[in-house]
Structure formats: structure tokens, C-alpha cells
Chains A and B, each alone.
Chain A
């Protein structure tokens, strides 16, 4: 009974996903358009590509996104790295002490 219920649920969710993707997805190769400020035609990516060298002064647009437009996000990324290193060192020290 439980197995039949689980199988039915999986099939229902799968059918829902296939239906949603096949009806609401953008056509292949088209660019998403959104209202940003007064600009309707261009997406946020197009805006960044056009304005990044002038606003941040970096020739590499990826860098201007990583540290210019999304600085907080990258600071969090660095914090994640810091926490990961602390965790690894802590675990291996405890591992050594037990031996």
C-alpha cells in the first residue's frame, strides 16, 4: 500500500514537472526580458555587460560582478571557506588525539 502510494506520488510530481517545463518555458535561444528601471527590452545581464567597465573600471566583467555588484555574496563565500578550513583542522586534531 505504502509502495503504491509512493509510486503514485512520484509519478504525479514527475507529470507536474514535465507539464510545467513543457508549457511555461521560454523558447530555446530566446533571452528573458524583464522590467528593470526604465529599461524593458534588456535583462539584468545585458545591463551589467554594458555598464560594468564604466562603473567598476575592471576589464573582466566576471570580477566586477563577483566583487563589485555582489560583494556581500563573495564575502559570505570567503566566510564559508574559513569555516570549512576550521572544521577540517578541528576534526583531524580530534582524530589524532584519540589515537
Chain B
């Protein structure tokens, strides 16, 4: 894949920050508005896939490589399990909320729910990207 024409590249470059920002908004406001980690992570992954389609795999690999996606997926899972262990270490049950609840409707509220959704968002985005990369390398025969 060598990339597309100048028109497609320009549009993709202009659209990428907005798509990424929209995905991050969906993830971070998961405890306030409809959405959450799963759809937000897919939107973030879609923004990177759009960049790959426009610019070709070589240039996209410099930004987010296969190894980056692999590590980020594990980090997302680790965030969830460590947050769950917080509750266990403090003598309550696993995944129990140990942070202050805050005021209803504010961004910094609901204890560990936004942090858990952040972990899920990172994990889903990296996982979808990893699947895309794996399929791409299988049919293209490049190096990972």
C-alpha cells in the first residue's frame, strides 16, 4: 500500500485530530453521556486506520507501530486489573470503588468508573488496530 492522492491525504490529515478528539471525548465522558470505552476505542482505532489508508503503511508505522499497539493493549488490561486490586488491598471486594464519588454530573466524579473506562478505551483502540495490522501484514507480507 503506497498511499493515495493528495486530496485524500489532505482530508485525512485534517480530519484525523477531530476524529481522535471525538473518540477521546466519548471515552472520557463515559460516565456522563451515552458511550463509553468500547465505542470510543473503536472510533480512535478508526481514526488511525483512516491515516493508514491515506498515507500507506510505512508512514503510519512510524507513528503507531505493531509493538506500540501490542504494549498499549496490555497496558489497558493492566489498568483495569490494578484498579480492581486497589479495592482488594484496602480490605473491600475486588473492583469496589475506593475513590471519592464527587458531585453528580461533573467530569471528575463517580470514583473509579472513568478510570476503568479509560483502560477499556486504550485496550479496545489498541486491540482493533492490532487486528487491522495483523490482517494487513498477512496479505502484504511485510515485516512487523
Q: Which residues of A contact B (CB under 8 A)?
A: 53, 56-60, 62-64, 66-68, 71-72, 74-75, 78, 81-82, 84-85, 88-89, 92-93, 95-96, 99
| Residue in contact with B110 in the complex, picked from A57, A92, A99, CB distance below 8 Å | A57
Q: Does B17 contact A (CB under 8 A)?
A: no
Chain A: which residue is nearest B120 at the CB level? A78
Chain A's nearest CB lies how many Å from the CB of B103? 8
Q: Does B65 contact A (CB under 8 A)?
A: no
On whether the beta carbons of A57 and B127 are closer than 8 Å, the reply is no
15 more CB-based (< 8 A) A-B contacts, given A57-B102, A60-B30, A64-B110: A57-B97, A57-B113, A58-B32, A60-B34, A62-B36, A63-B117, A68-B113, A71-B95, A75-B95, A78-B80, A82-B73, A82-B123, A85-B127, A85-B131, A89-B134
Chain B's nearest CB lies how many Å from the CB of A51? 13
- 1/0 per residue, CB under 8 A from A, across B86-118: the answer is 000000001101000110110001111100110
Q: Please, which residues of chain A bring their CB within 8 A of the CB of B97?
A: 56-57, 68
Q: For the complex, give the distance between the alpha carbons of A84 and B128 in Å.
A: 10
Q: Does B135 contact A (CB under 8 A)?
A: yes
On whether the beta carbons of A78 and B77 are closer than 8 Å, the reply is yes
Chain B's nearest CB lies how many Å from the CB of A80? 11
On whether the beta carbons of B110 and A58 are closer than 8 Å, the reply is yes
In the complex, which range does the number of interface residues on chain B fall in?
35 or more
Q: Please, which residues of chain A bring their CB within 8 A of the CB of B109?
A: 57-59
| Residue in contact with B127 in the complex, picked from A66, A71, A82, CB distance below 8 Å | A82
- CB pairs A–B below 8 angstroms (22 shown): A56-B97, A56-B110, A56-B111, A57-B97, A57-B101, A57-B110, A58-B31, A58-B110, A58-B113, A59-B105, A62-B34, A63-B30, A67-B95, A71-B94, A72-B95, A75-B80, A78-B120, A78-B123, A81-B127, A82-B73, A84-B127, A85-B127
Q: For the complex, give the distance between the alpha carbons of A67 and B36 in Å.
A: 11
Q: Please, which residues of chain A bring their CB within 8 A of the CB of B77?
A: 78, 82
Q: Please, which residues of chain A bring their CB within 8 A of the CB of B95?
A: 67, 71-72, 75
